[in-house]
Structure 1
Amino acid sequence: MDIPNLSSESIDRIIEMAWEDRTPFEAITLQFGLTEQQVIALMRREMKESSFKMWRKRVSGRQTKHLKQRSFDRGRFRSQNQKGS
Structure 2
Amino acid sequence: MNSKLLGSATVDEIIEMALSDHVSFEQIRTLHGLGPDEVKALMRQNLKLGSYRAWRRRVRAFADRREVYK
Q: Percent identical across equivalent pairs? A: 38
Q: So what's the TM-score if we normalise by structure 1?
A: 0.70
Distance 2:39 2:2 in 1: 8
- 5+ residue gaps in structure 2? none
User: Letter of the aligned partner of 1:32 in structure 2?
Assistant: H
For the aligned residue pairs, the C-alpha RMSD in angstroms reads 1.6
Q: So what's the TM-score if we normalise by structure 2?
A: 0.83
Any runs of at least 4 consecutive aligned residues in structure 1 with deviations exceeding 2 A, and if so which? none
Alignment of 1:12-23 (within 5 A): 12-23=12-23
- Structure showing the higher helix proportion among its residues: 2
- 5+ residue gaps in structure 1? 71-85
Alignment of 1:38 onto 2:38: yes
Distance 1:14 1:40 in 2: 11
Aligned length: 65
